[in-house]
Amino acid sequence: MSAKIIDGKKVAGITRDEVRQDVEDWLDAGNRPPFLQVLLVGNDPASNVYVGAKTRACKEVGIETDTHRLPDTVSAKELKKTIHRFNDDDSIDGILVQLPLPSHLSSHDVIEAIDHKKDVDGFHPMNVGRLTVGQPSFRSCTPAGIFELFKYYSIPTKGKHAVVVGASNIVGRPISIMLSKEDSEGKATTTICHKYTKDLTAHTISADILIVAAGQPNLVKGEMVKEGVVVVDVGINRVADETKEKGYTLVGDCHFESVQEKASWITPVPGGVGPMTVAMLMKNTLLAAKRSIYPE
Ligand code: NAD
Protein backbone atom coordinates (compact mmCIF):
# COMPACT_ATOMS: atom_id res chain seq x y z
CA MET A 1 0.00 0.00 0.00
CA SER A 2 1.17 3.54 -0.67
CA ALA A 3 -0.59 6.18 1.38
CA LYS A 4 -2.81 8.89 -0.03
CA ILE A 5 -1.71 12.34 1.05
CA ILE A 6 -3.83 14.35 3.47
CA ASP A 7 -3.28 17.78 1.92
CA GLY A 8 -3.45 20.23 4.82
CA LYS A 9 -2.38 23.13 2.64
CA LYS A 10 -5.39 22.60 0.36
CA VAL A 11 -7.93 22.06 3.16
CA ALA A 12 -6.54 25.06 5.09
CA GLY A 13 -7.02 27.18 1.94
CA ILE A 14 -10.66 26.03 1.73
CA THR A 15 -11.18 26.74 5.45
CA ARG A 16 -9.67 30.24 5.11
CA ASP A 17 -11.94 30.92 2.08
CA GLU A 18 -14.96 29.94 4.20
CA VAL A 19 -13.82 32.20 7.05
CA ARG A 20 -13.21 35.08 4.61
CA GLN A 21 -16.78 34.72 3.30
CA ASP A 22 -18.17 34.55 6.85
CA VAL A 23 -16.21 37.67 7.83
CA GLU A 24 -17.62 39.46 4.77
CA ASP A 25 -21.17 38.48 5.78
CA TRP A 26 -20.44 39.62 9.34
CA LEU A 27 -19.31 43.03 8.07
CA ASP A 28 -22.27 43.27 5.67
CA ALA A 29 -24.53 42.81 8.70
CA GLY A 30 -23.07 46.04 10.10
CA ASN A 31 -20.46 44.66 12.49
CA ARG A 32 -16.85 45.79 12.89
CA PRO A 33 -14.04 43.44 11.73
CA PRO A 34 -12.92 40.74 14.20
CA PHE A 35 -9.71 41.68 16.05
CA LEU A 36 -6.93 39.33 17.17
CA GLN A 37 -4.39 40.64 19.68
CA VAL A 38 -1.09 38.74 19.60
CA LEU A 39 1.44 38.97 22.42
CA LEU A 40 5.00 38.02 21.59
CA VAL A 41 7.58 37.82 24.37
CA GLY A 42 11.26 37.83 23.37
CA ASN A 43 12.76 37.12 20.00
CA ASP A 44 12.57 33.37 19.39
CA PRO A 45 13.10 32.85 15.60
CA ALA A 46 10.50 30.05 15.30
CA SER A 47 7.92 32.13 17.24
CA ASN A 48 8.55 35.04 14.87
CA VAL A 49 7.85 32.74 11.90
CA TYR A 50 4.61 31.41 13.48
CA VAL A 51 3.37 34.90 14.37
CA GLY A 52 4.18 36.05 10.83
CA ALA A 53 2.08 33.19 9.38
CA LYS A 54 -0.83 33.99 11.72
CA THR A 55 -0.71 37.71 10.88
CA ARG A 56 -0.69 37.00 7.12
CA ALA A 57 -3.65 34.62 7.50
CA CYS A 58 -5.59 37.31 9.43
CA LYS A 59 -5.03 39.83 6.63
CA GLU A 60 -6.13 37.27 4.04
CA VAL A 61 -9.49 36.60 5.73
CA GLY A 62 -10.26 40.17 6.83
CA ILE A 63 -9.41 39.83 10.52
CA GLU A 64 -7.61 42.82 12.01
CA THR A 65 -4.60 42.07 14.17
CA ASP A 66 -1.81 43.67 16.15
CA THR A 67 1.33 42.10 17.61
CA HIS A 68 2.38 43.53 20.97
CA ARG A 69 6.04 42.75 21.62
CA LEU A 70 7.57 42.54 25.08
CA PRO A 71 11.24 41.93 25.94
CA ASP A 72 12.25 38.47 27.19
CA THR A 73 13.10 40.07 30.54
CA VAL A 74 9.47 41.10 31.16
CA SER A 75 8.17 40.16 34.61
CA ALA A 76 5.12 37.93 35.09
CA LYS A 77 3.39 40.88 36.78
CA GLU A 78 4.00 43.22 33.83
CA LEU A 79 2.96 40.58 31.29
CA LYS A 80 -0.28 39.82 33.15
CA LYS A 81 -1.00 43.53 33.49
CA THR A 82 -0.82 43.81 29.70
CA ILE A 83 -3.12 40.77 29.31
CA HIS A 84 -5.65 42.26 31.76
CA ARG A 85 -5.65 45.46 29.68
CA PHE A 86 -6.46 43.41 26.56
CA ASN A 87 -9.14 41.47 28.49
CA ASP A 88 -10.89 44.75 29.36
CA ASP A 89 -10.69 46.18 25.83
CA ASP A 90 -14.00 45.55 24.06
CA SER A 91 -12.44 46.16 20.65
CA ILE A 92 -10.29 43.00 21.11
CA ASP A 93 -12.08 39.70 20.39
CA GLY A 94 -9.25 37.17 20.65
CA ILE A 95 -5.96 37.13 22.59
CA LEU A 96 -3.08 34.85 21.70
CA VAL A 97 0.14 34.62 23.72
CA GLN A 98 2.73 32.98 21.49
CA LEU A 99 4.42 30.01 23.20
CA PRO A 100 6.99 29.05 24.35
CA LEU A 101 7.63 31.75 26.93
CA PRO A 102 11.05 32.49 28.47
CA SER A 103 11.81 30.05 31.28
CA HIS A 104 11.20 32.51 34.15
CA LEU A 105 7.51 32.75 33.12
CA SER A 106 4.93 30.04 33.82
CA SER A 107 2.82 29.44 30.72
CA HIS A 108 0.01 28.01 32.95
CA ASP A 109 -0.08 31.20 34.95
CA VAL A 110 0.02 33.44 31.88
CA ILE A 111 -2.65 31.49 29.98
CA GLU A 112 -4.92 31.58 33.03
CA ALA A 113 -4.64 35.38 33.03
CA ILE A 114 -6.38 35.52 29.62
CA ASP A 115 -10.16 35.97 29.70
CA HIS A 116 -11.34 32.49 28.65
CA LYS A 117 -13.95 34.15 26.42
CA LYS A 118 -11.06 35.59 24.38
CA ASP A 119 -8.84 32.48 24.56
CA VAL A 120 -8.87 31.65 20.84
CA ASP A 121 -5.98 29.18 21.28
CA GLY A 122 -8.25 27.08 23.51
CA PHE A 123 -5.53 26.57 26.14
CA HIS A 124 -7.29 28.15 29.17
CA PRO A 125 -8.34 25.55 31.80
CA MET A 126 -11.94 26.75 31.43
CA ASN A 127 -11.91 25.85 27.71
CA VAL A 128 -10.05 22.58 28.26
CA GLY A 129 -12.45 21.66 31.07
CA ARG A 130 -15.53 22.54 29.04
CA LEU A 131 -14.19 20.53 26.10
CA THR A 132 -13.70 17.57 28.42
CA VAL A 133 -17.27 17.63 29.74
CA GLY A 134 -18.84 18.43 26.36
CA GLN A 135 -19.72 22.09 26.90
CA PRO A 136 -19.21 24.65 24.08
CA SER A 137 -15.59 25.85 24.21
CA PHE A 138 -12.76 27.17 22.12
CA ARG A 139 -11.07 23.99 20.90
CA SER A 140 -7.32 24.12 20.64
CA CYS A 141 -6.37 24.79 17.04
CA THR A 142 -4.12 21.85 16.12
CA PRO A 143 -6.51 19.12 17.35
CA ALA A 144 -9.48 20.96 15.82
CA GLY A 145 -7.55 21.18 12.53
CA ILE A 146 -6.89 17.43 12.59
CA PHE A 147 -10.64 16.78 12.93
CA GLU A 148 -11.31 19.11 9.98
CA LEU A 149 -8.92 16.98 7.92
CA PHE A 150 -10.74 13.80 8.95
CA LYS A 151 -14.03 15.43 7.99
CA TYR A 152 -12.78 16.65 4.60
CA TYR A 153 -11.34 13.25 3.63
CA SER A 154 -14.25 11.31 5.19
CA ILE A 155 -11.86 9.40 7.46
CA PRO A 156 -13.97 7.77 10.20
CA THR A 157 -12.78 7.61 13.80
CA LYS A 158 -15.83 5.91 15.35
CA GLY A 159 -14.95 2.55 16.88
CA LYS A 160 -11.32 2.78 15.70
CA HIS A 161 -8.26 2.34 17.87
CA ALA A 162 -6.60 5.75 17.97
CA VAL A 163 -3.09 5.97 19.38
CA VAL A 164 -1.69 9.37 20.30
CA VAL A 165 2.07 9.69 20.80
CA GLY A 166 2.67 12.78 22.94
CA ALA A 167 0.65 14.07 25.88
CA SER A 168 1.23 17.82 25.85
CA ASN A 169 -1.48 20.31 26.82
CA ILE A 170 -1.29 21.85 23.34
CA VAL A 171 -1.65 18.80 21.12
CA GLY A 172 -1.48 15.27 22.57
CA ARG A 173 -3.90 15.64 25.51
CA PRO A 174 -6.65 17.66 23.75
CA ILE A 175 -6.61 15.47 20.63
CA SER A 176 -6.86 12.36 22.80
CA ILE A 177 -9.83 13.87 24.68
CA MET A 178 -11.56 14.70 21.39
CA LEU A 179 -10.85 11.27 19.92
CA SER A 180 -12.05 9.42 23.02
CA LYS A 181 -15.36 11.26 23.49
CA GLU A 182 -18.27 8.90 22.89
CA ASP A 183 -20.92 11.63 22.64
CA SER A 184 -19.28 13.85 20.01
CA GLU A 185 -16.75 13.78 17.24
CA GLY A 186 -14.24 11.06 18.24
CA LYS A 187 -15.93 7.86 19.42
CA ALA A 188 -12.54 6.10 19.19
CA THR A 189 -10.87 3.79 21.67
CA THR A 190 -7.88 5.90 22.58
CA THR A 191 -4.40 5.15 23.87
CA ILE A 192 -2.04 7.94 24.93
CA CYS A 193 1.71 7.33 24.86
CA HIS A 194 4.44 9.57 26.23
CA LYS A 195 8.12 9.50 27.05
CA TYR A 196 7.58 7.02 29.91
CA THR A 197 5.68 4.55 27.71
CA LYS A 198 7.46 1.22 27.64
CA ASP A 199 7.67 -0.45 24.24
CA LEU A 200 6.11 2.25 22.06
CA THR A 201 5.81 -0.15 19.12
CA ALA A 202 3.48 -2.45 21.11
CA HIS A 203 0.98 0.44 20.98
CA THR A 204 1.65 2.05 17.60
CA ILE A 205 1.44 -1.29 15.79
CA SER A 206 -2.21 -1.73 16.82
CA ALA A 207 -3.32 1.78 15.80
CA ASP A 208 -5.98 2.31 13.14
CA ILE A 209 -5.35 6.01 13.57
CA LEU A 210 -1.94 7.21 14.72
CA ILE A 211 -1.35 10.80 15.80
CA VAL A 212 2.30 11.59 16.47
CA ALA A 213 3.12 14.79 18.37
CA ALA A 214 6.37 14.16 20.22
CA GLY A 215 8.83 16.57 18.62
CA GLN A 216 11.25 13.71 17.87
CA PRO A 217 12.38 13.35 14.24
CA ASN A 218 11.95 9.83 12.80
CA LEU A 219 10.46 8.49 16.06
CA VAL A 220 7.90 6.36 14.21
CA LYS A 221 9.19 4.11 11.42
CA GLY A 222 7.42 1.82 8.97
CA GLU A 223 7.97 -1.33 11.02
CA MET A 224 6.11 0.27 13.95
CA VAL A 225 2.75 0.61 12.15
CA LYS A 226 0.24 -1.77 10.62
CA GLU A 227 -1.00 -1.86 7.03
CA GLY A 228 -3.77 0.64 6.33
CA VAL A 229 -3.17 2.93 9.32
CA VAL A 230 -4.11 6.62 9.05
CA VAL A 231 -1.09 8.66 10.16
CA VAL A 232 -1.20 12.27 11.29
CA ASP A 233 2.31 13.61 11.82
CA VAL A 234 2.10 16.76 13.94
CA GLY A 235 5.84 17.10 14.57
CA ILE A 236 7.76 20.05 13.19
CA ASN A 237 11.49 19.54 13.67
CA ARG A 238 14.37 21.55 12.28
CA VAL A 239 17.12 19.17 11.20
CA ALA A 240 20.50 20.66 10.20
CA ASP A 241 20.96 20.54 6.43
CA GLU A 242 23.84 22.40 4.86
CA THR A 243 22.42 21.94 1.37
CA LYS A 244 19.51 24.24 2.29
CA GLU A 245 19.76 28.01 2.20
CA LYS A 246 18.36 28.28 5.74
CA GLY A 247 20.75 25.58 6.98
CA TYR A 248 17.95 23.20 8.04
CA THR A 249 15.14 21.02 6.71
CA LEU A 250 11.71 20.69 8.35
CA VAL A 251 10.78 17.12 9.14
CA GLY A 252 7.99 15.49 11.12
CA ASP A 253 8.11 12.83 13.83
CA CYS A 254 7.59 9.97 11.36
CA HIS A 255 10.04 8.47 8.90
CA PHE A 256 7.86 9.47 5.97
CA GLU A 257 9.17 7.08 3.29
CA SER A 258 8.80 3.86 5.31
CA VAL A 259 5.53 4.84 7.05
CA GLN A 260 3.78 5.93 3.87
CA GLU A 261 4.43 2.51 2.29
CA LYS A 262 2.10 0.94 4.86
CA ALA A 263 -0.35 3.72 5.69
CA SER A 264 -3.63 4.33 3.88
CA TRP A 265 -3.48 8.08 4.57
CA ILE A 266 -0.66 10.31 5.80
CA THR A 267 -0.03 14.00 6.44
CA PRO A 268 3.21 15.40 5.00
CA VAL A 269 5.53 17.76 6.88
CA PRO A 270 5.41 20.54 5.90
CA GLY A 271 1.97 21.02 4.34
CA GLY A 272 -0.04 18.76 6.64
CA VAL A 273 -1.24 19.79 10.08
CA GLY A 274 0.65 23.12 10.30
CA PRO A 275 -1.51 25.15 7.87
CA MET A 276 -4.67 23.74 9.51
CA THR A 277 -3.60 25.09 12.92
CA VAL A 278 -3.47 28.63 11.53
CA ALA A 279 -6.77 28.22 9.66
CA MET A 280 -8.54 27.05 12.85
CA LEU A 281 -7.18 30.08 14.70
CA MET A 282 -8.96 32.25 12.13
CA LYS A 283 -12.16 30.27 12.71
CA ASN A 284 -11.87 30.64 16.49
CA THR A 285 -11.26 34.39 16.23
CA LEU A 286 -14.41 34.82 14.17
CA LEU A 287 -16.34 32.72 16.73
CA ALA A 288 -14.98 35.03 19.44
CA ALA A 289 -16.07 38.15 17.55
CA LYS A 290 -19.56 36.69 17.08
CA ARG A 291 -19.66 35.68 20.79
CA SER A 292 -20.75 32.26 19.47
CA ILE A 293 -19.17 30.14 22.21
CA TYR A 294 -19.90 32.48 25.10
CA PRO A 295 -22.97 34.61 24.31
CA GLU A 296 -23.21 37.90 26.21
P1 NAD B 1 5.96 18.87 23.94
O2 NAD B 1 7.45 18.86 23.93
O3 NAD B 1 5.21 19.80 24.83
O4 NAD B 1 5.44 17.41 24.25
C5 NAD B 1 6.02 16.29 23.65
C6 NAD B 1 5.30 15.04 24.12
O7 NAD B 1 5.89 13.93 23.46
C8 NAD B 1 5.43 14.77 25.62
O9 NAD B 1 4.20 14.31 26.14
C10 NAD B 1 6.49 13.66 25.72
O11 NAD B 1 6.31 12.82 26.83
C12 NAD B 1 6.24 12.92 24.40
N13 NAD B 1 7.45 12.24 23.93
C14 NAD B 1 8.68 12.76 23.75
N15 NAD B 1 9.53 11.81 23.33
C16 NAD B 1 8.82 10.67 23.24
C17 NAD B 1 9.15 9.32 22.89
N18 NAD B 1 10.38 8.97 22.53
N19 NAD B 1 8.15 8.41 22.92
C20 NAD B 1 6.90 8.74 23.27
N21 NAD B 1 6.52 10.01 23.61
C22 NAD B 1 7.49 10.94 23.61
O23 NAD B 1 5.57 19.08 22.42
P24 NAD B 1 4.25 19.68 21.69
O25 NAD B 1 4.14 21.12 21.96
O26 NAD B 1 3.07 18.79 21.89
O27 NAD B 1 4.73 19.51 20.18
C28 NAD B 1 5.05 18.25 19.64
C29 NAD B 1 5.54 18.44 18.21
O30 NAD B 1 4.49 18.99 17.45
C31 NAD B 1 6.71 19.44 18.08
O32 NAD B 1 7.53 19.00 17.02
C33 NAD B 1 6.03 20.73 17.71
O34 NAD B 1 6.85 21.58 16.96
C35 NAD B 1 4.89 20.21 16.86
N36 NAD B 1 3.70 21.08 16.81
C37 NAD B 1 3.15 21.25 15.60
C38 NAD B 1 2.01 22.00 15.48
C39 NAD B 1 1.40 22.16 14.13
O40 NAD B 1 0.60 23.03 13.94
N41 NAD B 1 1.73 21.28 13.19
C42 NAD B 1 1.43 22.60 16.60
C43 NAD B 1 2.00 22.38 17.85
C44 NAD B 1 3.14 21.59 17.95
CATH of the domain at 177: 3.40.50.720
DSSP 264: S
Q: Does 77 lie in the same domain as 190?
A: no
219 φ, ψ (degrees, to nearest 5):
-65, -45
**pLDDT tens, 124-163?**
999 999 999 999 999 999 999 999 999 999 999 999 999 9
Q: Which residues are catalytic?
A: 54, 98, 121
Q: Kindly report the protein residue whose alpha carbon is nearest to atom 31 of ligand 1.
A: 215
Alpha-helical runs (H) found in 154-271: 172-180, 200-204, 256-260
Given a cut of 90, is residue 229 above it in pLDDT?
Answer: yes
Q: 145 lies in a domain?
A: yes
Q: Taking Cα atoms as reference points, which of 203, 207, 204, 222 lies closest to residue 262?
A: 222
Q: Does 239 lie in the same domain as 158?
A: yes
The enclosing domain of 72 has a CATH number of: 3.40.50.10860
55 Cα–ligand 1 center, Å: 24
The 3-state DSSP class for residue 114 equals coil
Say if residue 236 carries a ligand binding annotation: yes
pLDDT of residue 133: 94
Q: List, in sequence order, every residue forming a beta bridge with 99; answer none if it has no partner.
A: none
Q: Does 189 lie in the same domain as 149?
A: yes
Determine the atom of ligand 1 nearest the C-alpha atom of 276: 40
251 Cα–ligand 1 center, Å: 13
Q: 23 lies in a domain?
A: no
Give, rounded to a whole angstrom, the gap between the first and last alpha carbons of the chain.
52
Q: Does 250 lie in the same domain as 183?
A: yes
CB 35 within 8 A of CB 295: no
Given a cut of 80, is residue 1 above it in pLDDT?
Answer: no
Given a cut of 90, is residue 291 above it in pLDDT?
Answer: yes
32 Cα–ligand 1 center, Å: 37
Q: 125 lies in a domain?
A: no
Q: What is the CA radius of gyration of the chain?
A: 19
State percent of the chain over pLDDT 70: 100
Q: Does 167 lie in the same domain as 110?
A: no
Of 62-66, 181-185, 194-198, which gets the smallest average pLDDT? Answer: 181-185
Q: Does 265 lie in the same domain as 150?
A: yes
Number of domains within the chain: 2
Q: Taking Cα atoms as reference points, which of 240, 232, 228 lies closest to residue 271?
A: 232
Q: Does 183 lie in the same domain as 250?
A: yes
Neighbours of 109 (CB within 10 A): 12
**pLDDT tens, 26-45?**
999 999 999 999 999 999 99
Q: Does 98 lie in the same domain as 48?
A: yes
Q: Taking Cα atoms as reference points, which of 153, 144, 157, 151 lies closest to residue 6?
A: 153
Q: 127 lies in a domain?
A: no
Question: Which residues does ligand 1 sit against, CB inside 6 Å?
Answer: 142, 165-168, 170-172, 193-195, 197, 200, 213-216, 219, 234-237, 273-274, 277
Q: Does 145 lie in the same domain as 248?
A: yes
Question: Rounded to two decimals, what is the model's pTM?
Answer: 0.97
Q: What angle do CA 68, 74, 76 make, to 5 degrees?
A: 100
Mean pLDDT of the chain: 97
What domain range includes position 83?
A: 32-115
Q: Which residue, of 80, 115, 150, is where some domain finishes?
A: 115
The 3-state DSSP class for residue 96 equals strand
